[in-house]
């Protein structure tokens, strides 16, 4: 499973990439706003930190303007992935970009039918939002599983399922268990994945015993 990091914070992205666990970055207009940075400058800097796909979202509501925005964003770096909303206009733009070989991430997916349309539009990634579905008492993991299963019926579809709106380590474990290709994680969740009290306890015990040897390895 690939991990993308879901933030517009440069320091967080640098630190997460240094862990060796990060395969790309996703942003959205809210994350860009939180960063307080100029959008294009921010995406440019992120693309110098990772060579993996960096999702940058269009702001227009109509396909022709989305395509103009995509041109501006794609010119920033080779690894920019154009993020488009799951709307009629977003998927029109997705189809054009896909036919030009430009990577796309169709976002705000909340149903299997939407995911089918994204795949038909040639999306590189489709982003079902787990946390936001859980928030309204619908099962985020069930949606991920249903999309993965539906895509398996059509091996000619190349769209990867990108589990988004991740709120806990359990979301990652569940998404991996049902075969999501990618998950995009807020940095906090990435570090939570490492944590286990028995690891801490075991390591403390080993170090205490090691001290008794009086040895040093380096
Ligand atoms: C996905 O690409 C989105 O940026 C993100 O996962 C949204 O998550 P949220 O529901 O925590 O805002």
Taking a C-beta distance cutoff of 8 angstroms, is the pair 165, 189 a contact?
no
Phi/psi for 16 (5° steps) reads -65, -40
Look at residue 40 in the predicted model and tell me its pLDDT: 98
- Percent of the chain at pLDDT > 70 equals 100
90-110 confidence digits (pLDDT tens): 999 999 999 999 999 999 999
CA distance 73 to 78: 10
Look at residue 44 in the predicted model and tell me its pLDDT: 98
Output the CA 83–ligand 1 centroid distance in Å.
12
Active site residue 68: no
Average pLDDT over residues 197-217: 98
Count the neighbouring beta carbons within 10 Å of the beta carbon of residue 33: 11
Helix (H) or strand (E) holding 57, with range, is strand 54-57
Look at residue 100 in the predicted model and tell me its pLDDT: 98
CATH class of 2-211: alpha beta
Ligand 1 contact, 164 CB (< 6 A): yes
Ligand 1 contact, 114 CB (< 6 A): no
Ligand 1 contact, 28 CB (< 6 A): yes
Helix (H) or strand (E) holding 5, with range, is strand 2-6
Q: What is the pTM of this model?
A: 0.96
Average pLDDT over residues 198-207: 98
CA distance 203 to 140: 35
159-176 confidence digits (pLDDT tens): 999 999 999 999 999 999
- In this structure, the residue with its CA closest to atom 7 of ligand 1 is 165
Burial class of 91 by CB neighbour count within 10 A (0 to 12, 13 to 18, 19+): buried
Taking a C-beta distance cutoff of 8 angstroms, is the pair 50, 22 a contact?
yes
Within 8 A by CB and 6+ apart from 3, the residues are 21, 22, 23, 182, 183, 184, 185, 190
């Amino acid at each position: 499973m690939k991990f993308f990091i879901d933030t517009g914070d440069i320091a967080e992205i640098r630190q997460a990439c240094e862990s060796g666990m990060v395969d790309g970055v996703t942003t959205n207009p809210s994350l860009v706003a939180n960063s307080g940075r100029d959008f294009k400058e921010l995406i440019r800097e992120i693309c110098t930190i990772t060579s993996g796909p960096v999702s940058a979202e269009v702001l227009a509501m109509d396909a022709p303007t989305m395509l103009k925005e995509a041109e501006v964003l794609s010119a920033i770096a080779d690894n920019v992935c154009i993020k488009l909303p799951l709307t009629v206009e977003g998927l029109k733009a997705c189809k054009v970009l896909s036919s030009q070989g430009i990577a796309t991430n169709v976002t705000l997916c909340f149903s299997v039918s939407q995911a089918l349309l994204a795949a038909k539009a040639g999306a590189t990634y489709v982003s079902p939002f787990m946390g936001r579905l859980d928030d309204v008492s619908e099962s985020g993991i069930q949606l991920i599983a249903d999309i993965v299963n539906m895509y398996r019926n059509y091996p000619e579809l190349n769209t990867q399922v990108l589990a988004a709106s991740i709120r806990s380590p359990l979301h990652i474990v569940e998404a991996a268990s049902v075969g999501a290709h990618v998950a995009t994680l807020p940095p906090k969740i990435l570090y939570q994945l490492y944590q286990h009290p028995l690891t801490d306890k075991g390591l403390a015990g080993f170090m205490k015993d090691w001290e008794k040897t009086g040895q040093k390895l380096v």
